Chain A
Amino acid sequence: MKLLTHNLLSLHVRGVGPRGFPLRLQAAEVRINPVEFNPDFVARMIPKVEWAALLEAVDTLHLVEVPKGPIERYEHDEKFLRQMHHVLLEVDVLEGTLQCPESGCLFPISCGIPNMLLSDEETKT
């Protein structure tokens, strides 16, 4: 699971609402996957990023050299874009869990694939 994905995931269980974000990440196995750098795509993603959630995940994974927020004219700053490219697209969590901060529900990540299915106890009608 890439950190870009983690940044977009949230829970919509009734009673949890917007506090279902961000999901607390715990990683047992992480891999760095080189991905071809595409500055235009990375620049497009910057406005969609929730920075607080990203920095929290980055902290959990002990990553370094991560920008703390978008800088001015980031579209033309290759260094910034390359750092963001690495953080968002090249860090892959293979095994771990995602936890809803409000309800405490745990979602496993295995083989890089998160399982977001709620069990029957967790689904409220």
Chain B
Amino acid sequence: MKRTVCAKSIFELWGHGKSPEELYNSLKNYPVEKMVPFLHSDSTYKIKIHTFNKTLTQEEKVKRIDALAFLPFEGKVNLKKPQHIFSILEDYGLDPNCIPENPHNIYFGRWIADGQRELIESYSVKKRHFIGNTSMDAGLSFIMANHGKVKENDIVFDPFVGTGGLLIASAHFGAYVYGTDIDYNTVHGLGKASRKNQKWRGPDENIRANLRQYGLEKYYLDVLVSDASKPSWRKGTYFDAIITDPPYGIRESTRRTGSQKEIPKGMEKCPESHVPVSLSYHLSDMFFDLLNFAAETLVLGGRLVYWLPVYTPEYTEEMVPWHPCLKLISNCEQKLSSHTSRRLITMEKVKKFENRDQYSHLLSDHFLPYQGHNSFREKYFSGVTKRIAKEEKSSQE
């Protein structure tokens, strides 16, 4: 429970039912020997009521607590600092516009622990000093850190670090963090602000300052301006986790450096970006580079966690990039729009990297269906969506 942002609390269930009578019967059937250690006369306790999707008056709450008088409570009530907390949980469904008179389910249990949901509020992007257009939501960044099994004294790396949101979650769990990004301005904290009403970034807006805001500056190792397709790390395995959200080519462009010969005539150097030549970086190449890089630099057992943008009508599981050294642990979908979603992919390094491994994907069947991925950007903006919407409308008429 010290890690999860998905669970609010955990209780030891003593009884449940679809009505108060069913609940009381269920409680009477719960073995007394299991109750007694928490109810004896030397202990203090408190009973709370949680209702989901309904508000009760104080009178209604007291009535429900009094109805439990048949339980063998022998301890003293202490509302401020009880040793044991018991809870009645009433479930009134999920529709706020249709609240039933009686609950669908009632539960009674002993509170054991709370999860870390308050981290979502305390690390909220709304209050963060330095944000970008695509800064990761706090809850998701903690989920990603958990997928990466980040622990104290790990080294975590984000090759598309942006404003450092993912590093913050890892640092919270005690990991030391590295980040790189091809965009000079973002890494240095310069340029236009992403906040409404703010034109330019202030001096306290950079990745290091973000960590400092949460008292995590000691976990900041370094950030570098670097092209993820041409990593600058020496041969070896030193990352315990690579946790990242690569650009999808929609709100941040996908770029890499290259030589003059590779670009079509007419494209000019972009003076602000400090990137000599910006080439389009095909999404499929980017993910294979990422997997190769992870296979080379992760310690054995280390994890790669990243988002894969997907055009939902054409998605199949075979599209998920594959590598002989990395085992797929999980693949979770988050819908972005009616026809696009992104998938949180978690992989674990299970085999030592050898030189021939970097080209295995060219021989695999997975490579061909994945090529379609390069046009994710086009599909996202295309008239295809309008056609689909039109078809849906006409089929409803």
Contacts and interface: CB of A to CB of B under 8 A. Distances in A.
Interface of A: 1-2, 4-5, 8-13, 18, 21, 35-36, 38, 40-41, 44, 48, 50, 89, 110-120, 123-125
Given A4-B221, A35-B218, A114-B224, A120 B233 contact: no
Contact of B276 (A21, A38, A117, A124): A117
Contacts of B230: 12-13, 118, 123
A41 B232 contact: no
B221 A5 contact: yes
B14 interface: no
A8 B238 contact: yes
B295 to A, nearest CB: 15
A17 B192 CA distance: 38
A54 to B, nearest CB: 13
A119 B258 CA distance: 8
A118 B223 contact: no
Nearest to A53: B234
A120 B276 contact: yes
Given A8-B238, A9-B233, A120-B277, 14 more contacts: A1-B222, A2-B221, A5-B224, A41-B176, A112-B222, A113-B224, A115-B184, A116-B227, A117-B225, A117-B227, A117-B257, A117-B275, A125-B259, A125-B261
Contacts of B184: 115
24 contacts: A4-B221, A9-B233, A10-B235, A18-B235, A21-B234, A110-B188, A113-B225, A114-B224, A114-B225, A115-B184, A115-B225, A115-B274, A116-B180, A116-B224, A116-B225, A117-B276, A118-B276, A120-B258, A120-B276, A123-B230, A123-B257, A123-B258, A123-B259, A124-B259
A125 B258 CA distance: 8
A115 B277 contact: no
Interface in B212-259: 218, 221-227, 230-236, 238, 257-259
A21 B178 CA distance: 19
Contacts of A114: 222, 224-225
A112 B176 CA distance: 17
Given A8-B238, A10-B232, A50-B234, A113 B153 contact: no
Contacts, number: 90
B182 A117 contact: yes
A8 B225 CA distance: 15
Most buried by A among B221, B260, B262: B221
Interface in B252-306: 257-262, 274-277
Given A5-B222, A36-B218, A113 B187 contact: yes
A62 B235 CA distance: 27
B225 A111 contact: no
Contacts of A124: 259
A50 B275 CA distance: 30
Interface string B149-188: 0001100000000000000000000001010101010011
Nearest to B218: A36
A70 to B, nearest CB: 16
B113 to A, nearest CB: 26
B258 A9 contact: no
Nearest to A88: B221
Contacts of A118: 227, 230, 257, 276
A18 B236 CA distance: 12
Contacts of A119: 276
A35 B218 CA distance: 6
3 shortest interchain CB distances as A-B pairs? A10-B234, A116-B226, A115-B225
Contacts of A116: 180, 224-227, 232
Nearest to B189: A111
Most buried by A among B223, B234, B260: B234
Contacts of A50: 234
Given A8-B238, A113-B188, A123-B257, A38 B227 contact: no
Contacts of A36: 218
